[in-house]
Structure 1
Amino acid sequence: MDILRVPAESMLRSMPSEHLALPQRAGLQDVVLQLFTHRSIAEPILVPAVAEPLLVMVLAGSARVEERALGGEWKSAQVQEGDFFLTSAELPYEMRWQTQGGDTFEVMHLYFTHALVDRAVHDLLGSQVGPIRFLDVSGERDDLVRMLLEQIRLELIKRREPSSLFVHGLAQALAIHLVRTYRDPEAAARRSNALQAYKLRRVIDLMEQRLAESFSLADLAEAAQLSEYHFSRLFKRATGLSPSQYFIRLRMDRARQLLLDTDRSIIDIGMEVGYSSPSHFSQVFRRHVGIPPSAYRNPEHG
């Protein structure tokens, strides 16, 4: 049975906490940032599986945080400013927490797109390595994680005009560090005869340039200098997805960014990512993201 995973922004509905409104962000394609102020909760909350890897850093205060798999034993961690969590949960789980030394503690959520993690994996490990999974980390300290997260937060929150290029560079550095340090060594399978890394980058760049155009397997295969059959087979070995599935994922990543960072109409956004029919765009978006575009843009009204 398929497990429903929610997009990062839908976590706003799951947290019984104050969500801090963020200023208008620069056009960011690789990360989603959320800030929360938590109070103690005695009754556990159900945390849905999310579609993207998630980093959580404690910004202020301290707490005793407990987590458990559904039906499992509680595991607790004592956390304070600078501690972090890393999860890419494939199943929902339960959490509860007790603040200490004060009424609240503040945390930052940072989600990565799959495309960013894929680029880090291919840069470090080559295209022969398939999709990876991260180790679960609860309440640990890592000076480099802390520094990079803090720089991203300062750029997005404190700068009057945040630089998307600067945040992109920080996010890339963070993804590289996470893949190097927290990759689950038992989860990544080596793929023989996968598409070579330089050809993979060339093809994905071409896809990103042509999101508004119809998908063309022939053009992509030509860019990789392979027959359509061999290109499709090697691309899927490198990414875990068929070329058309990966193309749709890129379209949805772009649509999500535009929905959050611009006031453009949903119809215009759908056309920019290749859907002339609003109903078709909404149908594809809901299938891949879990909610329709209107609810994604305004989750409190979803």
Structure 2
Amino acid sequence: METYVPAAITVVRRSVGWPGIIAHERRGKSGAVDYPGGIRQHVLYCFLDSLRSDVFLNGQKETVHYKAGDCRFTPAGRPVAFRWIGDVRVLMLGFQPWFFDRVAAELNTPAALPAEINTRKLSARHPVSVLMQQLHQELDATAGAALAAEGLARAIAVQILREFDHIRGAKPAPAAPPLAVLKVVELMRTRIGDSLALEELAEVAGLSPFHFARQFKTATGHPPHDYLIRLRVDRAQELIRQHSREWTMAAIANECGFADQSHMARHFKRVLGVSPGEFAEANPSLR
């Protein structure tokens, strides 16, 4: 999340991450930020202290007052600007879009969410906010904290999709049957190191290559090749967490189907915003 964290929020108390998910607790001062192209990750903010924030959408300003424990969700890729007054102490939970795609597919719902969600406050008693408060407590725990925190983060993603499912924008175009898409995704996971042709994937889905490519993107938000790359990056994160002390980055790249270490690093940076080495440094268990 470093690439778009407002400059006014500079102090990081702690940072933990899992494949597709990262949590930061940050502190800062009054400030403003503008994202004309949107942010690259979905981010849930849990305000640990009271805060007043102005949200700018489509040229309109709306002021939202947050109490301690209240939350706000900012979807990726939606233009938005913020201004806030006073000290800020916030727990930020970022989700890679591909991770949200996966959860949405399991819930049989689209992952795309409108920018207007930025003005909707989730009270401290909302299930999402309660889970965020539990996550905040787990970050201070010892035994089993990482496992519990990861489970909470995944539960939060489910609750967010449930909460905002009914306020989506225009109905998306018809997608390939979810079962067909999931069959292709499962094939990608099983053969993650192989070079998979579009024709082969389309045959598994039971569609022509043209219709498969279009409908796969409608269902997941990504072209088939890009989705496969993201699965490889996901796998690389897992291997870095499990074997970074024994395996070289070149070995991990080869295991995940990348041409070489630089090929993996390029896509790792594009998808996650950090290099493989920076990802390893952000995980305390790997230090």
Q: TM-score, normalised by structure 1?
A: 0.73
Q: Which of 246, 264, 269 lines up with 1:281 in the alignment?
A: 264
Instruction: Go from structure 1 to structure 2 and tell me whether the alpha carbon gap of 1:281 and 1:122 turns closer, same or farther (over 3 Å shift).
Output: closer
Letter in 1 for 2:157: A
Gaps of 5+ in 1: 1-7, 100-104
Supply the distance in 2 between the matched residues of 1:68 and 1:130 (Cα, whole angstroms): 23
Instruction: Go from structure 1 to structure 2 and tell me whether the alpha carbon gap of 1:57 and 1:287 turns closer, same or farther (over 3 Å shift).
Output: closer
Decide whether the 8 Å contact of 1:30 with 1:171 is kept in 2. Answer: no
Q: Which of 53, 69, 94 lines up with 1:65 in the alignment?
A: 53
Decide whether the 8 Å contact of 2:6 with 2:32 is kept in 1. Answer: no
Instruction: Go from structure 1 to structure 2 and tell me whether the alpha carbon gap of 1:116 and 1:167 turns closer, same or farther (over 3 Å shift).
Output: farther
Gaps of 5+ in 2: 283-287
1:37 aligned to 2:27?
yes
1:173 aligned to 2:116?
no
Instruction: Go from structure 1 to structure 2 and tell me whether the alpha carbon gap of 1:274 and 1:44 turns closer, same or farther (over 3 Å shift).
Output: same
Residues 150-195 of structure 1: CA deviation (Å, up to 9, x unaligned): 233334441333354x555433432232223224735253322x22
In structure 1, the partner of 2:285 is none
SS at match of 1:21: strand
SS at match of 1:20: strand
Decide whether the 8 Å contact of 1:46 with 1:93 is kept in 2. Answer: yes
Stretch moving more, 28-37 or 43-52: 43-52
In structure 2, the partner of 1:96 is 84
Decide whether the 8 Å contact of 1:36 with 1:106 is kept in 2. Answer: yes
Residues 246-268 of structure 1: CA deviation (Å, up to 9, x unaligned): 11222234445666787455434
Supply the distance in 2 between the matched residues of 1:123 and 1:273 (Cα, whole angstroms): 24
Supply the distance in 1 between the matched residues of 2:35 and 2:239 (Cα, whole angstroms): 26
Shift, 1:273, TM fit = 2.6
SS at match of 2:53: strand
Map 1:1-302 → 2, pairs under 5 A: 8-11=1-4, 14-22=7-15, 28-38=18-28, 40-41=29-30, 43-46=31-34, 49-59=38-48, 61-68=49-56, 75-88=62-75, 90-91=78-79, 93-99=81-87, 105-126=88-109, 129=110, 131-133=112-114, 135-137=117-119, 139-141=121-123, 142-162=125-145, 164=147, 166-167=148-149, 169-183=151-165, 185-192=167-174, 194-255=175-236, 263=244, 265-289=248-272, 292-294=275-277
Shift, 1:138, TM fit = 5.2
Decide whether the 8 Å contact of 1:45 with 1:94 is kept in 2. Answer: yes
Instruction: Go from structure 1 to structure 2 and tell me whether the alpha carbon gap of 1:22 and 1:84 turns closer, same or farther (over 3 Å shift).
Output: same
Supply the distance in 2 between the matched residues of 1:68 and 1:234 (Cα, whole angstroms): 33
Supply the distance in 2 between the matched residues of 1:230 and 1:243 (Cα, whole angstroms): 12
Decide whether the 8 Å contact of 2:114 with 2:169 is kept in 1. Answer: yes
Supply the distance in 2 between the matched residues of 1:82 and 1:223 (Cα, whole angstroms): 46
- Give the count of matched residue pairs: 276
Shift, 1:287, TM fit = 4.3
Supply the distance in 2 between the matched residues of 1:79 and 1:190 (Cα, whole angstroms): 32
Identity %: 25
Root-mean-square deviation (CA, aligned residues, Å) is 3.6
Supply the distance in 1 between the matched residues of 2:244 and 2:144 (Cα, whole angstroms): 17
Stretch moving more, 155-164 or 246-255: 155-164
Q: Using CA pairs below 8 Å that are at least 6 residues apart, which structure has the higher relative contact order?
A: 1
Residues 242-296 of structure 1: CA deviation (Å, up to 9, x unaligned): 2112112222344456667874554344333322323333333444455654566
Letter in 1 for 2:50: S
Instruction: Go from structure 1 to structure 2 and tell me whether the alpha carbon gap of 1:132 and 1:92 turns closer, same or farther (over 3 Å shift).
Output: closer
Q: TM-score, normalised by structure 2?
A: 0.76
Instruction: Go from structure 1 to structure 2 and tell me whether the alpha carbon gap of 1:75 and 1:255 turns closer, same or farther (over 3 Å shift).
Output: farther
Shift, 1:219, TM fit = 4.4
Shift, 1:33, TM fit = 0.6
Instruction: Go from structure 1 to structure 2 and tell me whether the alpha carbon gap of 1:117 and 1:285 turns closer, same or farther (over 3 Å shift).
Output: closer
